[in-house]
Amino acid sequence: MAETLLQVNDVSMVFGGLRAVSNLNLEIKTGELIGLIGPNGAGKTTAFNMITGVYTPTEGDVIFDGTRTNGKKSYQVTQLGMARTFQNIRLFSELSVIDNVKIAYNMHVKYNLVEAVVRDGNYINEEEAITAKALDLLKIFKLDDKADEQAKNLPYGEQRRLEIARALATAPKLLLLDEPAAGMNPQETKELMEMIRWIRDEFKLSILLIEHDMGLVMGVCERIYVLEYGFCIAQGVPDEIKNNKRVIEAYLGEEVS
């Protein structure tokens, strides 16, 4: 039995009079690949933002790897081992591809400000190591030949890949992907599906993903949570979800009686 990596207990998020997410319960075990789906405006990204520390939940607890993370800032949550990508890609667009990845290694860098300025041996060694690691990672994602290009000049699909590579560079235990297939054609989506599964096995981490593309979610996720109007209306393995009446209603509307 794998241990629990992320535990979301009865979490709610209230913006003024709007309950964006109500009493959400979520559990992810080590090594699992979980999907979070729901119609537009269901509160999926809000749930993501609460888990990653962008928002502090108004009620409830988020426990990650044994630490209570609500109230912690985003960067602290990342340092605990959680990384994410964004629905609308947020790269450091004016910087080079390799610098995008190097920045993700920042929190593991050991030299201090003085060593950086005088460029002592420690600085040189660390920088060499970071560059090598970043290049290795880029090679995995077939981006190494574009290492010195500005990130904004990459085609869309490669920008998505770079964002995932950057997230992986923080050495996460849990990777959250916010609509990784947005704007991709069926062929690219299929490749992405294989890549997600491969990342999980290769980097030995758990993945939580938000997605609209049902083919991708049903094909790759082991368990799925469904949100509607901030409430979790169903959870289970893909086959259960496919046949769940509430889910079909949420997506296609109620039957006229």
Partner 1 sequence: MNAIRKFDLKALVASVILYSILEGLIMADIIGPFWELNIILICINVILATSLNLINGYTGQFSIGHAGFLAVGAYTGAIITVKLGLPFELALIVGTISAGALGFLIGLPTLRLNGDYLAIATLGLGEIIRICILNIDYVGGASGLMGIPRITNLAWSFGLMIFVIFFIKNFKNSAHGRACLAIRENEIAADTMGIDTTKYKVMAFTLGAAFAGTAGVLFSHYFYIAHPASFTFMRSFDILTMVVLGGLGSMTGAITGAVLLTFISAYLSDFPEWRMIIYSITLIVLMLRRPQGLFGSQELSLKMFKLGGGKDGGNTVTGK
* Interface residue list for partner 1 (CB under 8 A): 52, 54, 73-75, 78-79, 83-84, 86, 90-95, 99, 102-107, 109, 111, 113, 116-119, 123-124, 126-128, 130, 166, 170
Taking the C-alpha atoms of residue 135 and residue 160, their distance in angstroms, rounded to an integer, is: 17
CB of 155 to partner 1, least distance (A): 19
Question: Letter for the amino acid at 245?
Answer: K
Taking the C-alpha atoms of residue 104 and residue 165, their distance in angstroms, rounded to an integer, is: 9
48 or 225, CB closer to partner 1?
Answer: 48
92 or 231, CB closer to partner 1?
Answer: 92
CB of 129 to partner 1, least distance (A): 11
105 or 141, CB closer to partner 1?
Answer: 105
Cβ-based neighbours of 252, under 8 Å, separated by 6 or more: none
Beta strand ranges found along 16-140 (DSSP E) = 18-29, 33-37, 59-64, 67-68, 82-84
CB of 199 to partner 1, least distance (A): 17
CB of 106 to partner 1, least distance (A): 5
Taking the C-alpha atoms of residue 192 and residue 180, their distance in angstroms, rounded to an integer, is: 8
Q: What is the dihedral of CA 189, 35, 139, 121, to 10 degrees?
A: 150
177 or 234, CB closer to partner 1?
Answer: 177
168 or 241, CB closer to partner 1?
Answer: 168
Both structure tokens of 111? 């030299």
Q: Which one-letter DSSP state was computed for residue 221?
A: -
CB of 33 to partner 1, least distance (A): 21
